Structure 1
Amino acid sequence: MQLFSIRTRPLNVCAPMVRYSKLPFRELVRRYNCDIVYTPMILADVFAASNHARESEFSTNLLDDPVVIQFAASNGVDLANAAELVAPYVSAIDINCGCPQKWAIQEKIGSHLMSDPETVRDMIRMTKARVQVPCSIKIRIHKDLRETVEFVKRALSVGVDFITVHGRTRRQKSTEPVSLEGMKLVKEVSTVPVLANGDVFSLEDVNKIVEATGVDGTMSARGILENPALFAGYNETPWECIEDYVDLALSYGTNAFIFHHHLMFMLEKTMSNAEQRTFNSLTTVPSIIDHLEEHYDLNIMRKRKERAEQAKIRLV
């Protein structure tokens, strides 16, 4: 919350992304001008009930700050139980009210909650009674924006600390443009900070959205997945950012599927179709490393040495 109060520019935020916004990626984007980073969406009931789920779904360290953990829940009890367990290790608790996937709607979580504002209000109230960290919501807009206004007002009435608004309805495809009008309206009626989500692929997009809506910051998902350095002003992923990710993923330990897919997103625009077919067929971490060493001169030991030397210079 201090970031919102002392900011001199709109805040840059990395969105919660299922599977992808794990600890190595969160540390990566922090190196490229990202102010706040979210965990992947986590099921609150499973997190609260299972030690295995807690160990596999959430890891953090002293560098992972500020971090917002996002939970999907269908009721306040599950959410508050999960929030109480994790509150000492995070900067805020976020409620997912925006996931549009069919399975989420069937489970009465995610964007299903946009039609159940009373449940969301109960979630916020119960969670804030149990933890001392801020509680936020990530919402979508309604087709009738008057419903969105009422939804936001209910959340404000029980002390929600900040709001992220995705500028599409739950039925709109990601290829459809976001509603700047809807995001602006949320900012106008809100008495707490508001972040805008959707169609953030460059700093030009950031400036356009902020100018049109007046929000306190912007959040990127697909854009930052393709280019983790976008908030630092890069129009495509710089090679040093890819090296940084490989180093972090290897250091922390990342399974081959996630490791491969992150690199596919980052390299997609620079690879030829033939190379994409070859790269997409790789299934193990060693084979991916071999490809990057052969075709891109990847040298992790050199990268680590350079980083150590830079750290020494900063200390002097």
Structure 2
Amino acid sequence: MSSLKLRPKPLTHKNDPLAIIRTRQDTHGRPVTIAGPMVRYSKLPFRQVCRKYNADIVYTPMILAREFVRNSHARTADLSTNESDTPLIVQVGVNNTTDLLRFVEMVSPFCDGIGINCGCPIKEQVREGIGSALIYNPDLLCEMVSAVKDKYGNLVRLETKIRIHDNWDDTVALCRRLCDAKVDWITIHGRTRTTRSSVPVNLEAIRYIRERISDKRVPVIANGDCFSMADFNRIVEHTGVDGVMAVRGLLENPAVFAGHTKCPWGALELFWHYTVQFGGLPFRLIQHHLHCMLENMGLEKHLHRELMKIKTTAELLDWFDANFELKRKSDAGFGIAVDIPYSTKSNCSEYGMP
């Protein structure tokens, strides 16, 4: 973590996520917008793209506490940040208080808050008591929250991202206990541990739980099925929450919170810029990000097939330059185009194009 830079302490109104959540309606005329954690994909370059398109708060991918606190290689691989990467929430997968306290001690100087993953439904994580297993172990979860808040108070912001129980009142009871443990805010994913993502998120459940959390000082964020600002407004109106977290929708279109109904070309230029500037992203991850964004934009299928056959980052950048007008930061109009700017002077034969 030698490349990481310390955050200012104490938190200020500019980087305190709790203050941002509480005041966004007054300062921006809308609830807070949050780019949630995505396994592998919420890395530094993509986080910066989301910020350019009105994401107020951004999360890292989930980091396993047991690996991070014990393995220097895991620390190097799992977390990279810089001074502009703020407000930043580091999400942690953890199943005991000791590991969590060690993790917070190591990570908190480099971020603006920490989120405990209580929603991951992956069986391997659940078997180890991580992710959504924690909503069925409220004693442990609340013990972990209390331990962090008792030690750090307002110096460390702590969130829990939970799923709902089959019995919504069980979730209400859990949220009340989390409030008593002094959690700073709660994110509710409106599906149970076994609900598939193809099933619509249960907004009625989120509304029911939100209305019954007695401590109104603790904000509630809704998560699930936010793919547009129309979805954002519908979720807020139905549930009465303090903000909305988007995850899958941002992978395809990181400009959701800026009101774009499809991914703008400028987002790809920004992603390329940050990827080259910061480095460190594996080729397959770069390729998949670009695949998701271009698919959302409606790229022609034969070009998509070519894209997925490329094997290196250098070849991929050459392919973009050959087929599109890909601007660099020093070029006029960088990062603002909406439609795909196909090149009029490309050497298409190199890539098997007509």
TM-score calculated relative to the size of structure 1: 0.94
C-alpha deviation, 1:241, in angstroms: 1.0
8 Å CA contact 1:77–1:126 kept in 2: the answer is no
State the distance in 2 between where 1:90 and 1:40 align.
13
Letter of the structure 2 residue corresponding to residue 90 of structure 1: C
Give the residue type in structure 2 aligned to 1:3.
I
Q: Paired residue for 2:225?
A: 199
2:236 is the counterpart of 1:210: yes
Q: Distance in 1 between matches of 2:123 and 2:147?
A: 27
How far, CA to CA, are the matches of 1:32 and 1:103 in structure 2?
34
Contact conserved, 2:164 with 2:171, CA < 8 A, in 1? yes
Instruction: Tell whether 2:306 aligns with 1:278.
Output: yes
Provide Cα deviations, 1:131-155, integer angstroms capped at 9, x if missing partner.
3211110000011101111111111
Percent identity between matched residues is 42
- Match for residue 227 of structure 1 among 247, 253, 256: 253
Instruction: Note if 1:4 corresponds to 2:18.
Output: no
Q: Secondary structure at the match of 2:186?
A: strand
Residue of structure 1 aligned with 2:61, choices 28, 35, 40? 40
Q: Deviations over 1:262-306 (max 9, x none)?
A: 101101131233222221122211121122112222232xx3344
Unaligned runs of 5+ in 2: 1-17, 337-354
The letter for the 1-side match of 2:289 is H
Question: Once the 2 structures are TM-superposed, how far is the Cα of residue 88 of structure 1 from its aligned partner?
Answer: 1.3
The question of 1:20 aligning with 2:41 is answered yes
Which residue number corresponds to residue 324 of structure 2? Answer: 296
Whole-Å Cα distance in 1 between the matches of residues 72 and 147 of structure 2? 23
RMSD over aligned Cα, in angstroms? 1.5
Instruction: Return the match for 1:264 from 285, 291, 294.
Output: 291
Aligned residue type for 1:226? E
Q: Deviations over 1:183-236 (max 9, x none)?
A: 112322332001111000000000000000000110111100100011000011
> What is the Cα deviation at residue 307 of structure 1?
7.8
Residues paired across the two proteins, number? 307
Question: Does structure 1 residue 145 correspond to structure 2 residue 168?
Answer: yes
Pairing of 1:51-200 with structure 2 (within 5 A): 51-131=72-152, 132-190=155-213, 191=215, 192-200=218-226
Please identify which structure carries the higher helix content: 1
Say if 1:84 and 1:130, in contact at 8 Å, map to a contact too.
no
How far did 1:130 drift?
3.2
Amino acid in the other structure paired with 2:308 = N
Distance 1:189 1:304, change over 3 A: farther
CA distance in 2, matches of 1:233, 1:41: 27
